[in-house]
């Protein structure tokens, strides 16, 4: 264990407990046996568990650690055969329940569950899997639930923002004539430039609200809480910002393409969803 093992804290947390080698080894052996008893099929080495325990015990009373949960998490992080299966048997339902609290669609829930498992058990380059961050300071069930909810929220925001824009684009694309669809392709470059210029003309708050709604996928209510205003106020801000962008884009296209303003207004109406997608893409760039 080295010097880290001497950081074991007594139950009342008042001072470090200085143990001789024999007493310390006896205590560690007892904790290790508790983990093995809970998961006898997982052949986690004593050295690997001691390393996990040393990290977990820094500044925390060892008697308060969830030893059995820590043993399982350490076995998963160490890729011990059968560890992930043991985790799934005990906490798979926790992941499913946590994800279901955030996402309604079945395919989204399945995707989030898969991402949560990958997040927990798959190393990211040279970094260890996220399950290695569990230190036994509380039940593993609660820790896993929070981790899964975070993954589901992240997926839900991205899916909601993208789905909202794409569904709108598909619906609008079905209506215009072939000539309008052709002009969409011809005008894409000019449109992108016009939208970028229009966004630069917005106030900082208007750009931020658009980014939160279109890029982050936040609801009007959530944005309102962020700014300390009502949902109706946020809705008005969004409409004002979008109307301003559409007006600026229309004026820019009239100047660039030398078309009658009536024709440009008609194109803007049909291309509204493409403008929203352009806004989303441009605001997503840091």
Q: HEC states along 187-222?
A: HHHHHHHHHHHHHHCCCHHHHHHHHHHHHCCCCHHH
Residue where one domain finishes, among candidates 155, 184, 212: 155
Question: What's the predicted TM-score (pTM) here?
Answer: 0.49
Contact between 257 and 264 (Cβ < 8 Å): yes
In a shared domain, residues 95 and 202: no
Q: Same domain for 141 and 273?
A: no
| Residue 161 in domain | no
Q: Taking the alpha carbons of 136, 142, 146, 147 in that order, is the dihedral positive or negative?
A: positive
Provide block-wise average pLDDT over 10 residues at a time, the chain (286 residues).
38 41 75 92 90 81 86 92 93 91 82 89 83 89 88 68 51 45 58 84 87 82 88 90 85 72 63 71 72
Please tell me the predicted confidence (pLDDT) of residue 177.
Answer: 45
Residue 170, in any domain of the structure: no
The pLDDT of residue 80: 93
**Same domain, residue pair 150 and 179:** no
Number of alpha carbons in the 13 Å side-chain half-sphere of residue 259: 17
* pLDDT at residue 168, as a whole number: 53
Alpha-carbon distance values, 36 to 26, 63, 187 (Å): 15, 17, 67
- Residue 48, CA distances (Å) to 21, 39, 72 in order: 18, 15, 12
Report how far residue 206's alpha carbon sits from residue 200's, in angstroms, rounded to the nearest whole number: 10
- pLDDT of 160 reads 53
Does 147 share its domain with 201? no
Number of domains the chain is built from: 2
Does residue 276 share a domain with residue 189?
Answer: yes
Burial of 184-214, coded b for 16+ CB within 10 Å and e otherwise, reads beebeeebeebbeebbeebeeebbbbbbbbb
Q: What confidence score (pLDDT) does residue 12 get?
A: 37
Does residue 77 share a domain with residue 139? yes
Domain co-membership, 20 together with 127: yes
Q: Among residues 103, 125, 155, which one ends one of the domains?
A: 155
With respect to residue 137, please indicate whether it lies within any of the assigned structural domains: yes
Same domain, 145 and 223: no
pLDDT at residue 157, rounded to an integer: 64
Residue 22 shares a structural domain with residue 68:
yes
Domain boundary among 155, 186, 205: 155
Q: Is residue 139 part of a domain?
A: yes
Q: Which domain holds residue 55?
A: 2-155
Structural domain includes residue 165: no
Q: Do 132 and 249 have their domain in common?
A: no
* Structural domain contains residue 272: yes
Looking at the structure, tell me whether residues 91 and 28 fall in a common domain: yes
Contacts of 123 (CB under 8 A, 6+ apart): 129
| Whether residue 68 is found in the same domain as residue 144 | yes
Residue 168 inside a domain? The answer is no
Q: Would residue 141 count as lying in a domain? A: yes
Q: What is the pLDDT of residue 83?
A: 93
């Amino acid at each position: 264990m080295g010097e880290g093992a001497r950081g074991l804290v007594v139950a009342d947390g008042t001072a470090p407990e200085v143990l001789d080698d024999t007493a310390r080894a006896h205590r560690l052996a007892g904790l290790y046996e508790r983990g093995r008893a809970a998961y006898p099929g997982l052949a986690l080495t004593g050295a690997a568990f001691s390393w996990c325990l040393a990290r977990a015990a820094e500044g925390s009373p060892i008697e308060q650690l969830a030893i059995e949960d820590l043993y399982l998490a350490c076995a998963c992080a160490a890729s011990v055969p059968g560890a992930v299966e043991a985790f799934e048997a005990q906490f798979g339902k926790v992941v499913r329940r946590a994800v279901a609290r955030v996402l309604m669609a079945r395919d989204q829930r399945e995707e989030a569950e898969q991402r949560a498992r990958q997040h927990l058990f798959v190393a990211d380059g040279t970094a260890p899997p996220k399950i290695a961050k569990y230190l036994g300071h509380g039940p593993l069930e609660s820790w896993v639930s929070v981790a899964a909810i975070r993954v589901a929220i992240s997926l839900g925001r991205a899916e909601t923002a993208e789905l909202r824009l794409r569904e709108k684009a598909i619906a609008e694309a079905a209506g215009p004539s072939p000539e309008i669809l052709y002009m969409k392709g011809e005008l894409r470059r000019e449109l992108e430039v016009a939208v970028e210029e229009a966004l630069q003309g917005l106030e900082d708050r208007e750009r931020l609200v658009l980014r939160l709604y279109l890029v982050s996928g936040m609801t009007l209510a959530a944005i309102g809480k962020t700014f300390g205003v009502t949902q109706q106020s946020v809705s008005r801000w969004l409409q004002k910002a979008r109307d301003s962008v559409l007006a600026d884009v229309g004026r820019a296209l009239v100047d660039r393409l030398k078309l009658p303003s009536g024709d440009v207004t008609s194109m803007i109406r049909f291309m509204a969803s493409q403008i929203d997608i352009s806004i989303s893409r441009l605001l997503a760039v840091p």
